[in-house]
Chains A and B, each alone.
Chain A
Amino acid sequence: MPEPTVSTASAAAPAPASDSVTVVIDGKTHQFPKGTNLLEACNEAGANVPYFCYHPGLSSPAVCRQCLVDVKGQPKPVPSCYTPVADKMEVTTASPRVLDVRRQMLEFTLLNHPIDCPICDKAGECTLQKHYFDWDAKYTRNDGIKVKKDKVVDLGKHIVLDQERCILCTRCIRTCEEVAKSPDLTMAQRGDHEVLTTAPGRRLDNPYSLNTVDVCPVGALTAKDFRFAMRAWELYATPSVCPGCATGCNVEVHASRDKVYRLVPRANPSVNKFWMCDEGRFTYKRLHQERTVVPLSGGLPVEWDRALEDAAKKLRASLDKGTGSVGVVFNAQSTNEDLYALAKLAFDHLKIDKAYLAGYDEGWHDDILVSADKNPNTAGAKGIAGGRLRSLVDLSRDLKSKAVSALLVLGEHGVLGANAAALPLGNLDGLVVAASHNGPLTEAAHVVLPLADWAECDGTFTNKLGMVQRIRAALPPPGDALPGWDILAHLAHKMGIAMDYTTAKQVFHEAREKLGFMRGADWGRPFLPVQLRFANTRG
């Protein structure tokens, strides 16, 4: 799904004209930079050349022979993915000969392909199905017996292989080698007995293993997590951003009937290219675990109105003792809009000066995609609350010294981290927590306000490169939960403060006026999730 990243970084400059070559594609003259792949050139010219083994993020081995085109002067059709453009090249992408050769190659590919579509997880987003329908569409001429191979091969922690379905394009092998830098897979045997398998002594357990499922053009590699969970064509795709770390990989949220089934990477050359890590893919799990669904006051379910009133009372009671006695906890998991609304309420209106930043603890990292900072919006929190943010260690100290008597928390993520006992919450007169998940913090809270999580609200995250990226609501919040900015606007109203926001977009535009790091960011166009069967984006 083409969803331009909202970015403050500038795009790469186009190549100078002197380095370009002139190519004639289907009778029309085009200019391309020297060294451009002929397949990319043809498709950029609108020719629609099909392919299995080529992938824009990988090297080209030219094994599938689907991208064959006629080049003037060449006796045989050439694999365009393996050919760089040359000056004065004349290319025909859809001559009868080329179409015939491609169809014959497809027929070979289908010769031993099992009749699995009804039980195959890839069905509906399968490149083989698509190419057959688009380029072949002839009934079979073969009534021989298909070659039998292993149907369920456990390749690693997350992946199962069906060798019969494999069309031997080697995309997964190259993904492991070139993206994960971990050569885990290889081909074995020859001819129609050739199979994909793990390299001797290895398992497919690298941290980027699930990308092989995405690049697999058929249902050979399937994710254990998604296997038999949902038919792919029924899913609705919403472009968003992974909340797993500060990298901010662009993802598509695939959901149906208010349930997320998977996250898949969305191409963005300046952030994640075509990939994302396995850890990030599973961040969707917590959307459906231990969620807060109703407001609580004193541990009992109440109406929103009552909960907000109680929250306002608690905060007011402490504020009357002096603005210094109330603290606010920002969270690096929140969107810029939620953080901006909190900063506005706390700093501008209530004149609170004790602010703390919470978030998940640092974790492992590599130099491919994974960042040590496991929060998607640390940069945004720091940009919004400026130098006023102090650490949770400071909060612990302030709680012990009873300098803070009431606390307003927006987002429970990591507030009680590994050292839960370190925060003496019992010292507080008022603990108001807007939380998306139940846990020790909501149990200790006097008022709990159910908060929408990242996949349920519109907003923006700022990644570690300072790019402000848009996230979109893929499903409604569970129960009575509301987005953070909305909760804060209601709370402000109860405290007699006018903060009348009705949409996240409104908060975004106000924040963009005030904050330097958001300048140039764009909210983007309204978007309606598209069912994959009609989206024409996958396969």
Chain B
Amino acid sequence: MADHKLPATTSPATRRVVLGMREASDLDELELPSETMPLNMGPSHPAMHGTVRMVLEVEGEKISSADIQIGYLHRCFEKESEYATYTQIFPYTDRLNYVSPMLNNVGYAMAVEKLLGIECPERAQFIRVIIGEISRITDHLTCLGAGAMELGAFTPFLYNIKFREWLWELLEELSGARLTHSYCRIGGVVADLPEGFGEKLRAVIAKGREVLVDVDKLLTRNRIFRDRMDGIGIITKEDCCAYGVTGPMARSAGLAYDVRKDHPYLVYDRFDFDVPIGSVGDNFDRFAVRVEEMYQSMRIIEQALDRIPAGPVMVNDPRVTLPPKSETYNSIEAMIAHFKLIMDGIRVPPGEVYSFTEGGNGELGFYIVSDGTGRPWKCRVRPPSFANTAILSKVLPGLFIADVVPTFGMVNMIGGECDR
């Protein structure tokens, strides 16, 4: 299954393999005129993941307008950040996109490092790539597993979550926390990879490939699954540009924008990987793009494990890095550095910065304004989920109520990230 390719498709019309089932657009002439009815989906709805409410206006089964109401998971990330030191913000970033916390860690750390004008050591950059790609896989596994489950396919969900758990066990070994890792630091990562991490990761990836094959067998040619996914929720390149949609969603519509390729950061330019794109922009393309991205992430991880250099994992600067404990307890210099870093925070020179990375769902940006103190004056997140969710109000009208479930599932709106 090494040369996994997206299934070839021709047009949205031929994608629809359903015979005998009427399209939503056919209903216009057939149905008797009826009054529209408002229908609340969520926030207490299993497919809405408890974090979003959709006020649909339906004519029978057909949606005539959709009002997407977000904010149910708003935790004041940006305001809280203004009252925390730069280092204390890491746990908050874990809770943005909580299915790929490492990607948020990396994105945030890189924004502050850009403002500080420092670059973390090469080994730390490789580690960041590895943990970032692991997180991307966990993100996609969750999205696809949950998406399939909501369409009735429970087994692929269990398979995916099994694979995800193997990866999270590795990240737990690495950081001490299964989900909210807070593993990155300004200037590097908190600790080196544990012994044997590379071998374990390779083994997990090998097992994971088998899982993906199993899931592929269960879903890709599954009639029920394809009927619910094919040709549903089509978005175009132009819509993506207009709404600021990025990530797998934009790539499924044929927009080959991937921050790792177009604005390479860390050491991504040294790896050989492809950016899969779809041709139709429907739910199935979004599914297929994510599957392929997982294979690409595994490629990156394997290359990174091959080439990771030895060396420090933190920059050596007492103004940024906590000194070793033996120094802290035994010399006044390190004690002061420790004290200042913990109590006052890393002093970031005044200025503003926008730094962006490829998150699980698209371009994850951090816009930070510093006033020269140890805490940001402003810390704004550009969450990919926000733009990706916004386009739903354009996509949903014209679909059946039942189509909301796979369409919303393939948007992979993560409340923590979207609402912040």
Contact = CB atoms under 8 A, between A and B. Distances in A.
Contacts of A128: 336
B339 A110 contact: no
A113 B327 CA distance: 15
B339 A123 contact: yes
Contact of B323 (A139, A533, A534): A139
A517 interface: no
Nearest to B374: A534
Contacts of B332: 110, 113-115, 117, 140
Range class of the A interface residue count: 20 to 34
Interface stretch (A130-138, A153-161, A492-500): A130-138
Contacts of B373: 534-536
Contacts of B327: 139-140
B329 interface: yes
Contacts of A142: 331
B337 A115 contact: no
B244 interface: no
A114 B335 CA distance: 10
B330 interface: yes
Nearest to A131: B336
Given A139-B323, A533-B344, A132 B372 contact: no
Contact of A138 (B333, B340, B343): B333
A132 B318 CA distance: 10
A124 interface: yes
Contacts of A115: 329-332, 335
A36 interface: no
B334 A140 contact: yes
Contacts of B164: none
Nearest to B344: A533
Interface string B136-180: 000000000000000000000000000000000000000000000
Interface string A226-246: 000000010000000000000
A17 to B, nearest CB: 34
B337 A137 contact: yes
Nearest to A110: B332
A233 B336 contact: no
Contact of A124 (B319, B344, B347, B372): B344
A133 to B, nearest CB: 5
Nearest to A142: B331
A133 B347 contact: yes
B344 A233 contact: yes
Nearest to B82: A534
A206 interface: no
Interface in B317-354: 317-319, 323, 327, 329-337, 339-340, 343-345, 347
B375 interface: yes
A89 B5 CA distance: 74
A91 to B, nearest CB: 24
B317 A137 contact: yes
B321 to A, nearest CB: 11
Contacts of A233: 343-344
A533 B334 contact: no
Contacts of B319: 133, 137
Contacts of A118: 335, 339
A115 B335 CA distance: 7
Contacts of A256: none
Nearest to B373: A534
Contacts of A534: 344, 373-375
B186 to A, nearest CB: 15
Interface string A112-126: 011101100001100
B333 A139 contact: yes
Nearest to A234: B343
Interface string A510-539: 000000000000000000000001111000
Interface residues on B, range: 20 to 34
Contacts of A137: 317-319, 337
A533 B375 CA distance: 10
A117 B374 contact: no
A129 interface: yes
A123 B339 CA distance: 8
A137 B344 CA distance: 15
Contacts of A113: 332
Nearest to A531: B83
A331 B323 CA distance: 57
A117 B333 contact: no
A533 B332 CA distance: 20
Contacts of A117: 332, 335-336, 339
Interface in A71-104: none
Nearest to A232: B343
Most buried by A among B332, B335, B372: B332
A284 B347 CA distance: 33
A129 B372 contact: no
Contacts of B375: 534
A133 B343 CA distance: 13
Contacts of A140: 327, 331-334
B377 to A, nearest CB: 10
Given A233-B344, A534-B373, A139 B339 contact: no
Contacts of B317: 137
Interface string A26-50: 0000000000000000000000000
Contacts of B340: 129, 133
Contacts of A123: 339, 343
B99 to A, nearest CB: 33
Contacts of B336: 117, 128-129, 132-133
A510 to B, nearest CB: 35
Contacts of A139: 318, 323, 327, 331, 333-334
A533 B374 contact: yes
A199 B318 CA distance: 41
A124 B336 CA distance: 10
Contacts of B333: 110, 132, 136, 138-140
Interface in B351-396: 372-375
A536 B343 CA distance: 12
Contacts of B334: 139-140
Contacts of B330: 115
Contacts of A132: 333, 336-337
A140 B326 CA distance: 12
Contacts of B345: 533
A477 to B, nearest CB: 25
A466 B345 CA distance: 43
B318 A129 contact: no
A533 B343 contact: yes
A187 to B, nearest CB: 22
- Most A CB atoms within 10 A — which of B334, B335, B375? B335
Nearest to B324: A139
A233 to B, nearest CB: 5
A536 B329 CA distance: 26
A528 to B, nearest CB: 11
A345 to B, nearest CB: 42
Nearest to A129: B336
A533 B318 CA distance: 19
B343 A124 contact: yes
A536 B372 contact: yes
Contacts of A124: 339, 343-344
Contacts of A136: 333
Contacts of B347: 133
A140 B327 CA distance: 8
Contacts of B323: 139
Given A118-B335, A137-B318, A534-B373, 13 more contacts: A110-B333, A115-B330, A117-B336, A123-B343, A132-B337, A137-B317, A138-B318, A139-B323, A139-B327, A139-B334, A233-B344, A533-B343, A534-B375
- Which 7 pairs from chain A and chain B are nearest by CB? A140-B331, A140-B333, A117-B339, A137-B318, A133-B340, A113-B332, A129-B336
16 contacts: A110-B332, A115-B330, A115-B332, A118-B335, A118-B339, A123-B343, A128-B336, A132-B336, A133-B319, A136-B333, A138-B318, A139-B331, A140-B333, A233-B343, A533-B343, A533-B345
